[in-house]
Structure 1
Amino acid sequence: MLAPQTDISDAEREAGLSRLVYEAGYSSATAALTSGVILTAFALHLGASNLQVGILASAPFLGQLFQAPAVLLVDRIRKRKAIAVISSIMGRSMLALMALALFLPPGLAMIAVIFAQFVLCGLGAIGGCAWNGWLRDLAPQERLGTLFSQRMVYTTSVTLIAGLAAALLLDRTTEGSSARDWAFAGLYAAGCVSGMISAFVVARMPEPSMPPPSVEPLGLGELLRTPFADRNFRRLIRFLASWQFAVNLATPFFTVFIVRQLQFDMTFVVVLSVVSQITNLASVRAWGALSDRFAHKSVLAVAAPTYIFSIVAMVGASQLGNSQMGMAYLVALHMLMGAAVAGVTLATASIALKLSPRGEATAYVATSALTSSLAAGIAPILGGLFADFFAARRFELLVRWTDPGGTSILSPITLSNWDFYFIGAGLLGLYALHRLSFVEEEGQIDRREMVQQVWFETRRAARNLGTVSGLRALTEFPGSFVRDARVRVRWLRKQRHAAMEN
């Protein structure tokens, strides 16, 4: 059942791609019940410090460092499905340990949770390394964008339902009570079961046999040297590393910021996550279509700046504080953030696969993951280390107004604590976008034209919400084809002009 196949029929391939899509439902249920907001809430429930929250947030990224030996393991064993399934079962069994950690003494409980999280993430990285190369050879390249968008639809839908269920469960218990202990234990037990079902579905997908090595097995250094020798892929690695550091300097602490600094309850945090997932679900298909029609870099050129803007805009929430206006602001901001994350996640997942040569995706994708994950893993630990330092600092912009009646001093802007992280992440994000401009991808268009395409898709989706306008759209001439043709002509002209200059 876990052995690779030399020949895969079209029916077997299509069945495997179908399982690839709906398997995302089980794996996303596991993640929704045991990671992200729930994991942070779990850590705060156990009395975790800012540093411990940062360490937990770094685990998924530092765990990716295990892809280095995994590259060698895949190249030697050449059974990617077996590696992916076995590592998944072993790693997700750690969720049972995290459920039992609630009944340990407080100090020991956090140690057990951190240990289990690192084991889970490390083994997940080993399985992911095998999974990426396996997927690259199983899925047709021209369908990667569509397949990833379909997986994201399942992921977002299940995450939405599981997140709401988790919020309702936690909301029915009192903070610090034994009932809350049992609620968290139930969430992690359910996540463990869902993870095991995911591994079973993956085991039923066909795996194409890897081509026999033309030379003797290479060492780890030799395997990783090839991607770095590829000039364009090296540029992609620089972008992904700088991007991950910028984003993960602040985003892992959103929950801490909203709960501790703004004094909102955990239920509202989960609602914000749900709102973000809804907009993510609503926009992912459009991003997938644009990604297939043009290029992943073009999608990033629009989605990435939007996401960076959303992070910096969190400073506005601290100015509004715990108020109805502040709640509305956070909801609107998370809607924008959810749409941007959909585009960024889809494009970054696909572009590394697209720019890697067929048959060498394992080494290329693993190298990209190693460098970007190291940067992403360091960022939240630094954030946790310096949290107390910035908590004791405050920046105020004072405005003095003097008139015959006296002098008034206003403070329209006040920055403190996590606000410094949001601004720092924005500045680092600008540098990451600069690195993206050097990456070359076939079919890419400039940012202005991509913004026009995004606006066109948004307007079309808005029109189709109405019954009358939706029926009218069925009889309209497909103007998107004309628009696409014009964009393609412009791109070809630029290519010819550049070739003539060279």
Structure 2
Amino acid sequence: METEANTGIGKLPGKVYTDFLWEVVFGVIPFVIILPGGVFLTAYLLTLGANNTEIGFISSIPVLINIIAPFASFLVERAESRKNTSLRFSLPVRFLWIIVALIPLLVYSNGITHPIIFFIAIFILISALNVPTTLAWTSWMGDIIPEKERGHYFGRRSIVAGIIATIASLLLGKFLDLIPEKHIGFSIVFGIGAAAGFLSYFMLTRIPDTKNTLASKESFSLDHVFKKIQKVFADKNFMKLVWFNAAWAFSLSFMGVFANVFMLKELNMSITLVVAFATISTLSNLALTPFWGKIADKYGNKPVMLICGNVLGLTPILWAITMPSNYFIIIPLLYVLAGTFWAGFNIAAFNIVLKLSPKADRAFFLSVNMLIPSITAFTAPLISGFLIDAIGTNKIDMGFYYFGAFQLVFILCAFMRSFPIKILKKVVEPQEEHVEKVMRSVKTGIAGGFTEGIGVLFNYVVMPVTFSGTLVEKLIKVKDTDWEHSFHVLQIVSSGAFKVKERSVISLSKQLIAHGHKVVIAAKKGTTIYDRAVEQGFTVYDIDIGMWPNPFKIYQLYKIIKKHKIQVIHSHSITDLSNIILASRFTNWVPIVLSKYTYTFNVQMDLVTTWMFANVSRVIAAKEFLRKNLVDTLPVLPKNTVTVYSGLDLKEYWVPGKYREEARRGFGFSENEKVITLVGRINEAKEQLTLIKAAPLILKILPEAKFLLVGGLQNEKDEVYKAKLIVRLREMGIHDKFIFAGFRRDIGAIVDASELMVSCALFETSGITLIQGMAMEKPVAGTVGGGSEIICDKLNGRIFPYGDHKKLAEAVVSILKTKNKAREMGKQGRKIAEEIFALDKITLQIENIYRQVRE
């Protein structure tokens, strides 16, 4: 069955996204080769004998041709099919590419005497045809890709394009350096570009069209064009953006093309080395593109442009101090900065134009935004090119440093880039955030964003070698309906204990299997969870994963995932994440779900933690206060978190009265004794001392009360704490009223034997003992911090302040002094448990999470 995905305009077949991908793959190759100011076109022109003024002029041709944009936009606005318009104008460009590829051969065979003039003529035609092509394509994509997803989509698109551009540039650059006759070499390279262009065109024909419902029916007239122009100029906010782009384009074009000329001529670098350095920028750009896309989507495009633009304004100064003796140090630093901040600027600059232009006249607004900046961008390289040729080889030589024509251009460019930023500040973008707030998010998140981006690059570069489908799935997420009804789940538990989370894994796994899913459990052999899983017939693997990346553990997980065709990995500990993530990547990115049961006291935003949580699809918190805590202390987005309470099997195990008589007989409780129970490890965090302090006050009113403390000891500190409790009880003379039952597995029987369940801890992470009490129709009492999320005060129990033994005593007495009241609270608790904490309902919530991460 063919999968479908919502694009905001309807539904498109899943196979369409493959065409999206391959259009980018083939389309980026000719773009890299003939990019104005790019290393290949610059080297091509130098081979044909062009001087700096001619190179500056040629690089400005595309922007000069943009003066026809308003007229071209009229064609786009009238067209019902922007796709057909884009294809109609882009096809001749592909044929003109063949002529460009033949020019070096004609020069080599003396078949042409003025190759630069001939190239300029062809290049003008290519640039002119690209104007309506670009307008139609941009308007077409603006309808296909929903506004809220553009940052994400175009960020992912840029990653694919960047990777292909990097690989193609390195290979073609090395080829040109190796081939002895450059004219033949450039003919071959540009011929490859032409072939890729035709393949890109073919893929473009396969992408669905969108009907232009706002297509204009007006006939062409200059008066109509001028009215449209007046409409654009009347939009003062949009025009501020246009004036910014005009000033920014001038400052960029002033030095843009001459950076490559500077490296090839002044620094005598090979094409391969120039491309290799540019790869540093590309990788930085690609790694941070997803991060900037998210920032732009969340906070707005203008703040991103301001942050990135200010940094980019300083990069020409680095060019000005670059010398043959130091370029191996400065240029890598320069390209890291450039790649990092151009990633954000380009995404935001593209998105803000779409956002501020009205949909009805978008093509015309876009054309004006192309027209005015094109004039300044055309002028700038002519001035700087003429300046470089006029100064020539004259320079001020200080031995360790010289100041010549290129250095002057770079310094002037640095000054020019400060002016446009002032204009951008006056642009108003709806829902934009303050730059200071965005800057704080950038500072705290950019390291994690870079790490996440490296992980994304890993997916795109490494995984396609074995799993090419990852590319398509990551470009645009396509819904996979093959596994909607059943899942293959790997439950991973690293703990050696058998407490809340370990019990939850067993009960959840049983329920999942009952619902038709396949469950595999990975645990350390010899632990209680491992033994219990084996006893109950689960497929269990012995694996002690650990915190640090371990190739042997990764390979073990890889084999398990592949053998059982695992579709969701559910980890119950942060400790194991690094190895799980790496194994997941080698198995076509199986989504990871993490359950978190504990409170985090310290903020953890380090690089490793950020990387781990960037690769977790969903984090499940055992209580809502834990969910809020992990959002505050860990690098996880709120949208990737969810609260799912611990579930209990209310049908078979947690049945009121099922174990009561036998359990009370076992402890020797009489019929009249009222048992108050606290379950939890004997340590200071569980605050058994608060209950001991409250006991005398309780016994004054309820002399028949007995206190049951259930929980084991894990270390020497716990033993010391227990000894102190016993001493305190003897001093108070109520030692006979307390029973230390130690660690017990029969918690259901313990709860059933009790009249009241108490929790004195400040952070009762899962609140499971209170939930267990409610399941067995027992009233419950808990602290404001630990129990308030589970207890409805005076309905199914009482809430008291943490550490306040007097209030605890009042709560216990108010519940137990009237038997009917205690019974009614117990019934209400059972009702709440059935509505919220029933295992079958919790399992459905977990299943839904599995389904979401698969989608």
TM-score range, shorter chain: 0.7 to 0.9
Which residue does 1:488 correspond to in 2? none
Change in 2 beyond 3 A, CA 1:107/1:375? farther
1:166 and 2:172 equivalent? yes
Secondary structure of 2:334 counterpart: helix
1:115 and 2:121 equivalent? yes
Deviation at 1:264, TM superposition (A): 2.3
Alpha-carbon distance in 2 for matches of 1:263, 1:162: 22
Maintained 8 Å contact 2:287/2:451: no
Aligned mate of 2:156, from 150, 161, 171: 150
Worse-superposed segment, 65-74 or 454-463: 454-463
Change in 2 beyond 3 A, CA 1:460/1:76? closer
Secondary structure of 1:12 counterpart: strand
1:429-471 Cα distance to aligned partner (Å, 9 max, x none): 1001111110011232233332222222223246668855358
Superposition pairs for residues 388-403 of structure 1, below 5 Å? 388-391=389-392, 394=395
AA partner of residue 25 (structure 2): G
Secondary structure of 1:360 counterpart: helix
Deviation at 1:15, TM superposition (A): 5.8
AA partner of residue 274 (structure 1): T
Which residue does 1:376 correspond to in 2? 377
Superposition pairs for residues 47-446 of structure 1, below 5 Å? 47-105=49-107, 107-174=113-180, 177=181, 180-212=182-214, 216-217=218-219, 219-317=224-322, 321-323=323-325, 325-391=326-392, 394=395, 414-446=402-434
Deviation at 1:422, TM superposition (A): 1.1
Alpha-carbon distance in 2 for matches of 1:145, 1:98: 35
Deviation at 1:337, TM superposition (A): 0.9
Which residue does 2:435 correspond to in 1? 447
1:41 and 2:29 equivalent? no
Deviation at 1:480, TM superposition (A): 8.8
1:390-436 Cα distance to aligned partner (Å, 9 max, x none): 3365457xxxxxxxxxxxxx777642111111111111110011111
Maintained 8 Å contact 1:80/1:134: yes
Maintained 8 Å contact 1:21/1:150: no
Maintained 8 Å contact 2:281/2:338: yes
Alpha-carbon distance in 1 for matches of 2:451, 2:155: 22
Alpha-carbon distance in 2 for matches of 1:37, 1:108: 22
Deviation at 1:252, TM superposition (A): 0.8
Maintained 8 Å contact 1:64/1:125: yes
AA partner of residue 132 (structure 2): I
AA partner of residue 155 (structure 2): S
Change in 2 beyond 3 A, CA 1:41/1:129? same
Which residue does 2:24 correspond to in 1? 24
1:174-228 Cα distance to aligned partner (Å, 9 max, x none): 3xx2xx2222111111111111121222222222222256774462212222121
Secondary structure of 1:443 counterpart: coil
Maintained 8 Å contact 2:78/2:215: no
Secondary structure of 2:53 counterpart: helix
Worse-superposed segment, 90-99 or 108-117: 108-117
Maintained 8 Å contact 2:630/2:636: no
Percent of pairs with identical residues? 22
Secondary structure of 2:422 counterpart: helix
Change in 2 beyond 3 A, CA 1:14/1:449? farther
Deviation at 1:14, TM superposition (A): 6.6
Secondary structure of 1:47 counterpart: coil
Structure with the bigger RCO (C-alpha within 8 Å, sep 6+) is 1
Deviation at 1:16, TM superposition (A): 5.2
> Structure 1: 5+ residue runs without aligned partners?
1-6, 397-409, 486-502
Which residue does 1:10 correspond to in 2? 10
Change in 2 beyond 3 A, CA 1:472/1:70? closer
Alpha-carbon distance in 1 for matches of 2:336, 2:188: 29
Scaled by the length of structure 2, the TM-score of the pair is 0.51
Alpha-carbon distance in 1 for matches of 2:435, 2:79: 44
AA partner of residue 254 (structure 2): L
Alpha-carbon distance in 2 for matches of 1:212, 1:459: 44
Alpha-carbon distance in 2 for matches of 1:480, 1:208: 45
Scaled by the length of structure 1, the TM-score of the pair is 0.84
Alpha-carbon distance in 2 for matches of 1:47, 1:276: 29
Alpha-carbon distance in 2 for matches of 1:86, 1:215: 20
Maintained 8 Å contact 2:289/2:344: yes
Which residue does 2:751 correspond to in 1? none
AA partner of residue 277 (structure 1): T
Deviation at 1:389, TM superposition (A): 2.3
Deviation at 1:24, TM superposition (A): 1.9
Deviation at 1:108, TM superposition (A): 2.0
Change in 2 beyond 3 A, CA 1:419/1:117? same
Secondary structure of 2:281 counterpart: helix
Alpha-carbon distance in 1 for matches of 2:64, 2:15: 34
Maintained 8 Å contact 1:22/1:154: no
Change in 2 beyond 3 A, CA 1:264/1:207? same
Maintained 8 Å contact 2:8/2:146: no
Which residue does 2:641 correspond to in 1? none
Alpha-carbon distance in 2 for matches of 1:9, 1:361: 17
Maintained 8 Å contact 1:98/1:112: no
Specify which structure has the higher proportion of helix. Answer: 1
Worse-superposed segment, 382-391 or 23-32: 382-391
Larger Rg: 2
AA partner of residue 31 (structure 1): F
Maintained 8 Å contact 2:254/2:409: yes
Alpha-carbon distance in 2 for matches of 1:365, 1:479: 41
Secondary structure of 2:403 counterpart: strand
Change in 2 beyond 3 A, CA 1:55/1:462? closer
Maintained 8 Å contact 1:136/1:361: no
Maintained 8 Å contact 1:24/1:155: yes
Maintained 8 Å contact 2:82/2:209: yes
AA partner of residue 33 (structure 2): L
Change in 2 beyond 3 A, CA 1:233/1:14? farther
Alpha-carbon distance in 2 for matches of 1:51, 1:445: 43
Deviation at 1:350, TM superposition (A): 0.9
Secondary structure of 1:211 counterpart: coil
Deviation at 1:65, TM superposition (A): 2.5
Deviation at 1:482, TM superposition (A): 9.7
AA partner of residue 304 (structure 1): G
Secondary structure of 2:360 counterpart: coil
AA partner of residue 213 (structure 2): P
Alpha-carbon distance in 2 for matches of 1:49, 1:273: 23
AA partner of residue 286 (structure 1): F
Deviation at 1:107, TM superposition (A): 4.2
AA partner of residue 132 (structure 1): T
Alpha-carbon distance in 2 for matches of 1:69, 1:130: 13
